[in-house]
Amino acid sequence: MSFEEISHTADVKIRARAPTLEALFSETFKALMQVMYGATRSGGIVREITVESPDNESLLADFLSEVLFVSEVEGLVFADARISMNGSRLTAELTGEPFDPVRHSGGSEVKGISYSGLSISHDANGYMLDIIFDV
Amino acid sequence: MLEGVNRVGLHEWEIPVGYVAGMRVPGRIFLSESLGKTLEAGAVQQLANVATLPGILKHSLAMPDIHWGYGFPIGGVAAFSVDEGVISPGGVGFDINCGVRLLTTPLPYKDVSGRRDLIEELFRAVPTGVGAKSALKVSVRSLEGMMAQGAQWAVRAGYGVERDLMRCEEGGFMKTADSRAVSDKAKQRGIPQGGTLGSGNHFLEVQVVREIFNPDAAKAFGLTLGQVCCMIHCGSRGLGHQVCTDHIKTLESATKKYHITIPDRQLACAPITSPEGMAYFGAMAAAANYAWANRQMITHTTRQVFAKMFRIEYDEMPLMYDVAHNVAKFEEHIVDGNRMKVCVHRKGATRSFGPGAVDLPSDLSSIGQPVIIPGSMGTSSYILRGTQTAMERTFGSTCHGAGRIMSRTQAKKMKSGREIVADLLKENIIVRAHSENAIADEAPEVYKSSDEVVNVVHEVGLSRLVARLSPLGVIKG
């Protein structure tokens, strides 16, 4: 399982790989949190998110958009996500901590999750995706 | 120049119909040959994609700061027939009414140069960066005011003077806003962020007027050589981002419902006159108004800081002008010899209305609309004026900035934030930000030369040079 930032002129492009779809979503979620708040994040506070969408790409975009919302309005920085998927429904248990300006100011605010170029592919090695975060 | 992009004039290039399947009109890019060397195939593809949307008029246009975005390219402009056209959040972006304004001051360069205490005080007073919350309390009722009446709400609430409204595009608010189309989630995000700058390329910069190209226009705009000014660049914060996110979802369904074929999901759209299209337009206008109110609140804080530190009066800092550069609007333009109402999308592009245009304050009517083009950190910003050429060629539009040419990953490998701060300090530019990371992302070298971008629009006549400003100090997210 991994994610990396790929060169993109205007925004942040992430490439993630994982053996399962759930793990792929979890990696992309971690990439999002790292872009926004840097690498030093820990758990403690738990939040649950549920989204329903017709296809995997929408499910991922909706999940990450919901993370952006909860993170911003509750002032929480998340470290980990335990994701379960059932057809068009995704449930995620997020663990995180309150935003700390000293430790979490290293990143860029993500304005939105773009559908441009978003595709989830699958081969013998597992799942892969490219996704663009608007910063 | 990239294959398939044909020269049709000095600084003018055409993407012919057929470049991607389904194009209804050609694409047009205003670009110098040397800027063309950094043109990305992805940006051209996006420009061509826009040309496939129903009801697009004349051309899918791009300004010289064009670069690869999502949906529309950054620097993209397209106008749509109200009867047959569509409206798309992909033509506006997540940061609805991201825009820029310039405040003038009565202070000369020598009073402000090297004043780190001013930059520190601005940094303390104006919330910046990820997670920042405003000290100016916004109630639920105030939020409604921000969405309905934008900068007018802010001025009436004590965050400015009446004259400020005369110096804002649209008078500081779009009358068509419909806050009922703004979700509770978006409103929740809007309440704590009124008066905050945000992060990324948003900034507040203290500048000095270094050069005047057009004395008459400069005088009309209130600019003099050696004068200190203050530029504010930010948008609609989480509220605008949420409006875009929410409505892309409903417009995706609408795209299917109305049998519209789109080449990129981020171009999800609906007929302008459909309930879904009008709902997005109403919500987008409410978010645009929030952004105007936000910039007005930051203006208020900035004026208070200057008034206190330099013993000047609050109203000695007139607003020169405020422009939006991510927005969709109904405007009247001439198409095939007929004046008609169209829906203009500007995604990283600035309105550039020429002399005599409606919506210009009477004292600027003979000059044209002030156009503000921020430079990248450490480089010059420009003031231009709108032109008749822009009205004829680009639905009254021009460029919005320098335009990135280097990714954040490349930028970080090149120079650290600390090195950039030290380099800029050698040029007497003071930089203050929450993180070195934010500075490294926005190094001057990652952008096209703003001088060259502005020269193209000046030479083509999409806007004409009035003045050049250079930075003295900047605060960032």
The CATH number given to whatever domain includes residue B152 is: 3.90.1860.10
A24 Cα distance to chain centroid: 9
Distance CA B119, CA B254 (A): 48
Per-position b or e across B172-202, b if 16+ CB within 10 A of its CB = bbbebbbbebbbebbbbbbbbbbbbbbbbbb
Q: How confident is the model at residue B85 (pLDDT cuts 50, 70, 90)?
A: very high
* B141: in domain: yes
Q: What is the pLDDT of residue A116?
A: 85
- Which residues are CB-neighbours of A55 under 8 A, at least 6 positions away? none
Mean pLDDT confidence for B272-283: 98
> In which domain, by residue range, is B333 found?
6-405+447-476
Residue A29's φ and ψ, nearest 5 degrees, are -60, -45
Mean pLDDT confidence for B263-276: 96
Mean pLDDT confidence for B138-152: 96
* B440: in domain: no
pLDDT > 70 fraction of chain B, expressed in percent and rounded = 100
pLDDT for residue A86 is more than 80:
yes
Chain A partners within 8 Å of B74 (Cβ)? 10
In order of their start, the domains of chain A are: 2-134 (3.55.10.10)
Chain B nearest CA to A20, separation (Å): 24
**B245 contacts A65? CB cut-off 8 A:** yes
- Half-sphere exposure of B352 toward its Cβ, with a 13 Å CA cutoff? 36
Q: What is the pLDDT of residue B201?
A: 86
pLDDT for residue B251 is more than 90:
yes
* B22: in domain: yes
* The amino acid at B333: H
* B418: in domain: no
List, for residues A1-27, the tens digit of each pLDDT value: 799 988 888 889 999 999 999 999 999
Task: DSSP letter for B235, please.
Answer: -
B351 Cα distance to chain centroid: 9
- SS3 of A31, please? helix
* B327: in domain: yes
Mean pLDDT confidence for B30-48: 94
pLDDT for residue B403 is more than 80:
no
Number of domains in chain B: 1
Distance CA A32, CA B102 (A): 33
Q: What is the pLDDT of residue A9?
A: 81
User: Pick the catalytic residue: B247, B400, B434, B458?
Assistant: B400
Dmax over Cα atoms in chain B, in whole Å? 62
Query: A-B interface: how many C-beta pairs under 8 angstroms?
Result: 111
Mean pLDDT confidence for B383-409: 93
pLDDT > 90 fraction of chain B, expressed in percent and rounded = 87
Distance CA A49, CA A93 (A): 7
Mean pLDDT confidence for A99-106: 88
Specify the range with the lowest mean pLDDT, choosing from B24-28, B207-211, B415-419.
Answer: B415-419
Distance CA B457, CA B222 (A): 23
pLDDT for residue B458 is more than 80:
yes
* B338: in domain: yes
List, for residues B440-453, the tens digit of each pLDDT value: 888 888 888 889 99
Mean pLDDT of chain B: 95
List, for residues B221-250, the tens digit of each pLDDT value: 999 999 999 999 999 999 999 999 999 999
The answer to whether B228 and B472 have CB atoms below 8 angstroms apart is yes
**A37 contacts B130? CB cut-off 8 A:** yes
> How many helices and strands in chain B, by DSSP H and E?
15, 19
Chain B nearest CA to A128, separation (Å): 19
* B1: in domain: no
* B339: in domain: yes
Task: DSSP letter for B91, please.
Answer: G
Distance CA B182, CA A47 (A): 25
Distance CA A72, CA B131 (A): 7
Q: What is the pLDDT of residue B200?
A: 83
More confident residue, B6 or B405: B6
**A38 contacts B130? CB cut-off 8 A:** no
